[in-house]
Structure 1
């Protein structure tokens, strides 16, 4: 049979194929049209049946609601809402009665049929006494309530209502079940008819597939398969690209925020967008004499200064910059009347989706500002003596800077660990919608916090090593080379060729240490060297320090001409610092071979 059908299909010409195709389409269209008409009729019938079932089910809810409202009114001792409660009971009763009679007798507006099956008539007749009793008892209870009759009579009516409501709910369950049973019978009958139409339609489709579509099926299948494969690859590539872009963008934003925050994390405070203090660090609290136990109602501006004008200016900055952030120098007056200069940064931080706060990070620059103001005052008083007093002023500035760096080092040692721990806890409290990415982000931020702590420890050592003040220049340079070798992985070695062990003036030792530190850092950072040798030797009058590296070297003459570049300014500052202690610097460098820097300082 299959072979005959195949032979017949091969012998068909285009005209016969067209006629068969049109016949199949017309037949399918007729069967679909009939099926749709039947389906629409069935849907309409099922909608009516479902509406009947739904409203029948709601009758149970309305009866229970009526009983609940009566119980609440009967138990209430507050007469202020009695009229409203009675009104609600009446509305519920009327709606319940109207719906029940519509179900029982039929209703054109609700599209409820008047004719019912014998089973439904029997069930409605059975529930009728309970409906009448609930109606009569509720009306009588409201009249008794209005006449303020004894509570005993009201209680009898309420109990009767509750008993009949329970019976009504049980009988309505039977009515709902009968509605569902009759609806199921209709659906079953209609489904059998639809199965017949569906079987005929499937037969037509099978014949059409067998003789018309099968020859072209393979080519279309291969083409669609290739298209779907290409689409899946394109979608996967687009998703991967988007995910990588989002991760990269978030990482850059987090890195920038954390780097910027860590550059200014000596004094910190968390405040709300309205300027209220959420938390203030211990160092900041001591500086401002702020006690969180007694000053809970104070705003950030009130904690900073007691001057009303300064408070208004700070509040205005918070109001204007709470979304974009702010950075600048702030001049305030503390509680003792002393002038306080702060290099302040306000960073907006989003804690949750609808909650944000400001992270205020400050740097106490009072000493530096006072030194600058003192320099300006001296310049205004006597310009002629400016050149002669330059060294004195510079010495004062350097002393102040070194004192400030000592103070910064102490503050970092005392408080940076606690502050970083607080930052770590704050970052761990971030809640994101995507739990998987949130977990990855938290782990990443934990690792980053540990790296920051390591970097801060390094910065502390660079600011003011204790060996310099305790043991002198030889011990501090030896410690410097050892620490840099550990931190950078470079081979940094120190040799005291003449066993120099003298102590010099503290200012000279500080400058020698800074010069050596800068030369080694330049060899690591710019020269890309792997081996660095620091040699110290001395004579009766000269202390000589030589730093050799095997880096890429540079053209000394070309770099000195570019004074506006970082490297050119670095050489200039190095020369000025060594001249400040009456020393000299010699720089020899060959591109591709390495660099030697020698400092000669009189002793």
Structure 2
């Protein structure tokens, strides 16, 4: 019920607001239109006043022309050039004014179009105007040429006769302008009354349809407010209690924040690696200041570009799933620092994912571990070396035996099966239909046997390994396995490695890679496998990536008795026999990466 009442109130106020805005807009438009009309009419009246003024001035100029002509003819004994020039100027001004009144002027805002009555009056005035103008010009010409006064007497008479008619017409024009102006003023007064009446009507409608309903609505709202006052007082009291609780919580949070800032190594970063916030203790450790605030977290964490790229890649790959592990960084003082780092995806602000980085400085622990390893290594070096010698001999004998068996299979069994295939093809029996079916079956069987024998021979000892080295043999291995299994298995020699290694090392590298690929096919059910080989001056690295189902490394390590657990154990023992290291990284449902690092002996 409350929600429906609130919705009705909202709708009512919304409608009243619309009506109120409409009424105000109507009044504003009315005021603007009335003001525009007033200004327009004032301009028209000013223009009409100018026209009447010019008409009266034209009458004065015509009288001045007659006066000047009479003075020059009757009063002056001698006519000067100055007097003639002055009369010429008055005559020119008179003509100009007449042309302006008759044809209009844009600069003076005189209209070109006129009423029918004015047009007739100007049409009647033109012959008289032209007669006076021509006669005056002839009079001035005679004065300049000093002709007989009798001829000028006739011209003066013509001017006097027409001057009265001209003034009479000009008076009629002035009266007509005055009459038309009065009509305009009358129409403007009527329009003003209409606008005034319309404004009063709008105000009246506002009173009945806006102000009165609004007043009633406000009265009801005031009643509701008064009835809600007690509830507000109670809420205020409850709010005070909540505020006190909130202040205590804020104090606790501040204490907790202070503890975090000064005890934990933590920071918040965005998914692209940009820094959002760094704890004080972490900032001091990394020498992070406001001058480096525009850098990415990886750039603040380490000065080594390779480590920066690796960390940016780690953020990109693990920004959704998170990550936990140990990393080493090179700080600005060229010191190596080890961190036990946890990266957790969080959502502090709505729709803005972040990554919370929490670190523990384990540099001292790493130093202690190295010292322990060094001491253990000194105690067990001799034992390990003996074990390596024994393992190497065993592996060497195994490879020799496999080489011998591969040669026997290829040269003996393979040739015999090939002969069997040719013999069976030559069989000719009386029962042609059955013999053909049997022969076809034996053909297929013999081909499968030959293929299996050759595959076994290739797995036991590939000729590429002894003849061309590890790079060529791994390339051949991936090609053959891709053909046999139908999987997409690719090999990349990223750094163009072309060195030959010790035969025992090459054999072990080959077997390790073969084992990793077979595991990816057999256990991980992979469809795409990539083998990458790269090297530096002292290290050869082989990485096998697959898109299989992955596995939990910890659970596999615990099950040493299982086939997969033993396979990983044998893989680690084999890599240790050539002083190498293996790194296995697998995510269930995403795939597995196995990395072999083998030192290159000079």
Q: Structure 2-normalised TM-score?
A: 0.34
Larger radius of gyration: 2
